[in-house]
Amino acid sequence: MIKYVYDFSEGSSDMKALLGGKGANLAQMVKEGLAVPPGFTVTTEACLRYLEEGREFVQSLWIDVETALERLERQTGRTFGSGPEPLLVSVRSGAPISMPGMMDTILNLGLNDDTRSALAEMVGDDRFAWDSYRRFIQMFGNVVKGVPSERFESILEEVRRNKGVAFDHQLDAEALASLVKRYLSLYEEVTGETFPSDPWIQLREAVEAVFDSWNTARAKTYRKIHGIDDSMGTAVNVVAMVYGNLGGDSGTGVCFSRNPADGEKKLYGEFLVNAQGEDVVAGIRTPQPIGELAKVMPDIFEELKATADRLEVRFKDMQDVEFTVERGKLYILQTRTGKRSAEAAVRIAVEMEKEGLIDRNEALGRISPEQVERLLHSQIDPNCVPEVISRGLPASPGAAVGRIVFDPDEAVAMAEKGESVVLVRPETTPDDIHGLYAAKGILTSRGGMTSHAAVVARGLGKPCVSGAEDISIDLEGGRLLTEDREFLKGDFITVDGSTGRVIAGEVPLSLPSISDELNTVLDWADEAADLQVWANGDTPEDAKRARSFGAKGIGLCRTEHMFMAEDRFPVMQRMVVAESLEERQEALDDLRAMQVEDFVGIFREMDGLPVIVRLLDPPLHEFLPKIPELDKRILEADSAGEDTSKLRKMKSRAESLREVNPMLGFRGCRLGIVYPEIYGMQIRAIFDAMSSLPDVDLKVEIMMPLVQTKGEMALLREMVESIASEYPQGSLSYLVGTMIELPRAALRAAELAEDAEFFSFGTNDLTQTCLGLSRDDVESKFMKEYVDKGIFPISPFHVLDRDGVGELMAIAFERGRKARPDISIGICGEHGGDPKSVAFCHSLGLNYVSCSPFRVPVARMAAGWAALGLIE
């Protein structure tokens, strides 16, 4: 017989798949002798069977639940459903992978009119019993029956108003009793049923609701965003209630064993005196920082600190702990691996390695390439003096600029139109997840560092300021108000989640540098990795940045970018328009001097590291104005009585260069073959630069673009060799190689390798030509539709298409290596900076990936992860 119900004393932390994260960790804590309220877990397997077979399955499950509850009664000395000491339970979901705020919790289950009186009697507090009852009705009504929370809240607000009080805990027993009455009739009005007074029915419906919550839209969205498997199911934990709302010596809170925003090793969190669990996480009351607990309940604080440390050592990671203090006794309700910002992830991993808690590879596994990417997110430019309109809590680091939106759906709609938005809410709930995801940043006026908004924002790596209490938000009027200013929906605002500042308008952002800790981790990644990370860069500044980010070479220097500079463009145009070889040569001579300058700068920066210089690639018409633009200029010159002959010459050249499919036209090495003087100039400029740098350790490689035949490659190689022979013999050391950008080049790799000493996969063009898709056209026209329809899982221009392009790469790799065993093979298309694509390059056995300098740190981490088998 399959066992579907486990007491906490029967499980352990390695049973997460079956018991869920919460259940498994609770069981482990019981094993460790920590004060956990007793309870049991209904397994994820039960959930899956329920989702498949429906309520009938619960029938067969129920006998096990009943016996488990009987055991719980014996353990607590209380009875479920009757006095004198009624047993109340919480019913809490717990998936194998933590999904904070996604699933539902019901507290105080087991209350009805009779058990409420008994409870009042038992704790000697009538008010408390009414308060527990109204909370239960609200949670049960909302979670199990879908009665909107706002309906309960508005009644509560009305009662508070009538009583002239600001906070719930100021309501007396009588007020709460009347509230319960109104809640019960609201329940009846919305559901058409009376509130179930039988605790067994309550329990059963609650368990089913938790099972069902696995498939709510918000849970599905969360799983989609975080790539969590839909087929895991959730466990249900039934836990004897302990009460944090029994007066001044009770309370509840959430704490982290280290700071989840910056990683500092210090107990971090929040608590509320005289409150129940949901009050803290829901962000409804702004709680006190945990440090204050040391003043109010010093013994509890010390015990909590010691417990958090112990849990950290046990689970070898930063812990997020929920606790309740019931009349001076501490209970741990949950522990799990704490979500953290990317900054914190790095610091914690480095410090735990230093403390000997984890080893280097484990530490590396704690920081995903995506988190590294986030660390290179924007900060507020330190040179600007922003207008700070409010300060909240620095809930999730980084800065974001965007237009104010108050509604999550609207955030999505505006983001889809390409607008940057900041979602502004009093607080957020799990139903807002799509809006949080779409927004660039998040601002809430209520809630603490562990509020829903804060937790989710850190998980998503979005800047978030929470609990900015001096702003008020008028949701209906679409206004954000400070003491003296008003901002409307659509106005720009900046949030700085690193400092908690809320800033008026758009503020310039700057990129942060790499911290020492991140450098340490990236060095570990380099050590673990099999392939190197190089960078694409066209200028000495790029080279410098690439080096500072840890690039081990320049994998692609696109020389055409050098001609785009203001002072060079006209010279380039002269070259393009030239009608005779002499005329062209004259312009080329000027360009040569400029190119030498560029190469000298780059080679010097990259002293000791390889630099791959690619010769001119784009079609020549890209250097001329568009024909309508030329027509306009001719007309203007004409009417001003100026000489138009030059412009007309340019126009006729532009016309003669016009192509139907420029991507497949007169570009790449085809230019160098038809106009050898152009490539000749570039090759000489490279050699001139090399010759002028006797003190630099040069590793120069000359790369030909868009090659596909042996004839092209052989001819180009001869061209380089013949030019090299113009220089003193033995003075130049270089390699000649080719990009693999065309399917034919991939297939004929063996014969290309006879003349090419290295290959570099140009997967931008290789994707275009393999799939027959023009990137610039399809990305804006139909790619989204294709992705939405599931035809492509993601754009093949962002993540390498392994099945198609990848197969061509594998063929080229194998044939190239066979023909020339020492051939160096890398990638320089955009995919070189995408973690999944890097993992594929690792699996092929490439020597390096090359990507834009800013992606170098991400690619380094991805290379380390790939070698450790953490991404495939």
Q: Which is nearer to Mg ion, 318 or 707 (CB)?
A: 707
Contact status: 829 vs ligand PEP (CB under 6 A): yes
What is the distance between the alpha carbons of residues 147 and 11, in angstroms, rounded to a whole number?
A: 35
Q: How far is the CB of 706 from ligand PEP (least distance, A)?
A: 8
- From the CB of 61, what's the least distance to ligand PEP, in Å? 56
Question: What are the Cα distances from residue 406, in Å, to 413, 417, 448, 575?
Answer: 12, 17, 19, 55
Determine which one of 828, 841, 842, 851 is catalytic: 828
The verdict on 828 binding ligand PEP (CB under 6 A) reads: yes
The upper half-sphere exposure of residue 760, i.e. CA atoms within 13 Å in the direction of its Cβ, equals 34
- 452 in active site: yes
Single out the residue of 476, 481, 483, 510 nearest to residue 493, CA to CA: 481
Residue 236 has which token pair? 């249900």
CB of 768 to Mg ion, least distance (A): 8
Three-state helix/strand/coil letters over 257-283: CCCCCCCCCCCEEEEEECCCCHHHHCC
- The least distance separating ligand PEP from the CB of residue 669, rounded to whole angstroms, comes to 12
Name residues whose C-beta falls within 8 Å of residue 515's C-beta, 6 or more positions apart in sequence: 343, 346, 375
Of the pair 399, 849, the CB lying nearest ligand PEP is at 849
CB of 412 to Mg ion, least distance (A): 35
Facing residues of 488 across strands?
479
Which is nearer to ligand PEP, 517 or 538 (by Cβ)? Answer: 538
Q: Which of ligand PEP, Mg ion, none does 300 bind, CB closer than 5 to 8 A by kind?
A: none
For residues 402 and 493, the answer to whether their CB atoms sit within 8 Å is yes
Contacts of 198 (CB under 8 A, 6+ apart): 81, 112
By a kind-dependent CB cut-off of 5 to 8 A, residue 828 interacts, out of Mg ion, ligand PEP, none, with ligand PEP
Query: Which range binds ligand PEP by CB under 6 A, 275-283, 407-415, 420-428, 757-765?
Result: 757-765
What residue 829 binds from ligand PEP, Mg ion, none (CB within 5 to 8 A, per partner kind)?
Answer: ligand PEP
The kind and range of the H/E element at 481 are: strand 479-481
**Least distance (Å) from Mg ion to the CB of residue 786?**
22
Q: Which stretch binds ligand PEP (CB under 6 A): 99-107, 267-275, 673-681, 760-768?
A: 760-768
**In whole angstroms, what is the distance from residue 698 CA to residue 732 CA?**
9
Residue from 701, 765, 801, 834 binding ligand PEP (CB under 6 A): 765
Burial of 669 from C-beta contacts in 10 A (0-12 / 13-18 / 19+): buried
**Chosen from ligand PEP, Mg ion, none, partner binding at 550 (C-beta under 5 to 8 Å by type):** none
Listed ranges 119-127, 134-142, 720-728, 765-773: which one lies at the site for Mg ion (CB under 5 A): 765-773
Between 228 and 740, CB nearer to ligand PEP: 740
Both tokens of 590, joined, read 């000027």
The pair of three-digit structure tokens given for residue 75, joined into one six-digit string: 């353990």
- Taking the CB of residue 848, how many other CB atoms lie within 10 A of it? 26
Does position 764 interact with ligand PEP (CB under 6 A)? The reply is yes
464 included as an active-site residue: no
Report if residue 556 touches ligand PEP, rule: CB under 6 A.
yes
Least distance from ligand PEP to the Cβ atom of residue 828, Å = 5
Q: List the interface residues with Mg ion, window 713-752 (CB under 5 A).
A: 741
Of 680 and 833, CB closest to ligand PEP: 833
CB closer to ligand PEP, 764 vs 843: 764
For ligand PEP, the binding residue among 21, 430, 762, 806 (CB under 6 A) is 762
Site mask, ligand PEP, residues 431-460, x = CB under 6 A? Answer: ------------------------------
Choices 400-408, 608-616, 728-736, 757-765; region in contact with Mg ion by CB under 5 A? 757-765
For ligand PEP, give the closer residue by CB, 397 or 762.
762
Select 380 or 611, whichever has its Cβ closest to ligand PEP. 611
Which of the following is catalytic: 47, 255, 377, 452? 452
Exactly one of 598, 765, 801, 830 binds Mg ion (CB under 5 A); that residue is 765
Cα–Cα distance list, 253 to 220, 322, 387, 413 (Å): 28, 6, 34, 36
CB-wise, 147 or 742, nearer to ligand PEP? 742
Q: Report yes or no: 391 and 501 within 8 Å, Cβ to Cβ.
A: yes
Report CA torsion sign: 390, 393, 397, 400.
negative
Note whether 762 binds Mg ion by CB under 5 A.
yes
Q: Report how far residue 457's alpha carbon sits from residue 448's, in angstroms, rounded to the nearest whole number.
A: 13
**Piece in contact with ligand PEP (CB under 6 A), picked from 463-471, 510-518, 672-680, 763-771:** 763-771
Find out whether 396 and 420 touch, Cβ atoms under 8 Å: no
Q: Which of 765/801 has CB closer to Mg ion?
A: 765
Mention every residue, 6+ apart, whose C-beta is less than 8 A from residue 510.
378, 379, 380, 381, 382
Residue 826 is a binding residue for Mg ion (CB under 5 A): no
SS3 state of residue 509: strand
Q: Which two tokens stand for residue 677?
A: 């003087």
Smallest distance from the beta carbon of 829 to ligand PEP, in angstroms?
A: 3
556 binds, among Mg ion, ligand PEP, none (CB under 5 to 8 A by kind): ligand PEP
Of 1-9, 240-248, 315-323, 758-766, the window that binds ligand PEP (rule: CB under 6 A) is: 758-766
d(CA 620, CA 572): 9
326 contact choice in ligand PEP, Mg ion, none (CB below 5 to 8 Å, kind-dependent): none
Residues 525-584 that bind Mg ion (CB under 5 A): none
Q: Please identify, using beta-carbon distances, which residue of 94 and 832 lies nearer to ligand PEP.
A: 832
CB 598 to ligand PEP: min, Å = 17
What is the nearest approach in angstroms of ligand PEP to the Cβ of residue 781?
A: 20
Give CA–CA dist 8/19, Å, rounded: 10
Smallest CA-to-CA distance from 92 within 84, 100, 103, 102 is with 103
> Which residue in 769, 102, 751 sits closest to 430, CA to CA?
102
Tell how strand 464-466 and strand 441-444 pair up: parallel
Residues contacting Mg ion: total by CB under 5 A: 3
Measured CA distances, 93 to 96, 106, 133, 212, 337 (Å): 10, 9, 21, 10, 16
Task: Give the total residue count for the chain.
Answer: 872
Q: Is 741 in the site for ligand PEP (CB under 6 A)?
A: yes
Q: Which residue is nearest to Mg ion (CB)?
A: 765
Secondary structure (3-state) at 249: coil
Q: Cβ of residue 596: shortest distance to ligand PEP, in angstroms?
A: 22
- Asked whether position 617 contacts ligand PEP by CB under 6 A, the answer is yes
Number of residues that bind ligand PEP (CB under 6 A): 10
Give yes or no for residue 180 binding ligand PEP (CB under 6 A): no
Residue 681: Cβ-neighbour burial (10 angstroms; 0-12, 13-18, 19+): buried
Does residue 806 belong to the site contacting ligand PEP (CB under 6 A)?
no
Q: Identify the burial level of 333 via C-beta atoms within 10 angstroms of its C-beta, where 0-12 means exposed, 13-18 middle and 19 or more buried.
A: buried
Q: Is 621 helix (H, G, I), strand (E, B) or coil?
A: helix
Q: Which is nearer to ligand PEP, 436 or 557 (CB)?
A: 557
Rounded to an integer, what distance in angstroms lies between the CA atom of residue 188 and that of residue 451? Answer: 31
Gap between the terminal Cα atoms of the chain: 38
Reference 296, options 242, 244, 251; nearest CA is 251
Q: Which is nearer to ligand PEP, 605 or 765 (CB)?
A: 765
Helix or strand or coil: residue 655?
A: helix
Binding ligand PEP by CB under 6 A: which of 22, 366, 374, 558?
Answer: 558
**Residue 765 CB, nearest approach to ligand PEP (Å):** 3
The residues assigned a catalytic role are 452, 828
Interface positions with Mg ion (CB under 5 A): 741, 762, 765
Residues found near ligand PEP in the complex (CB under 6 A): 556, 558, 617, 741, 762-765, 828-829
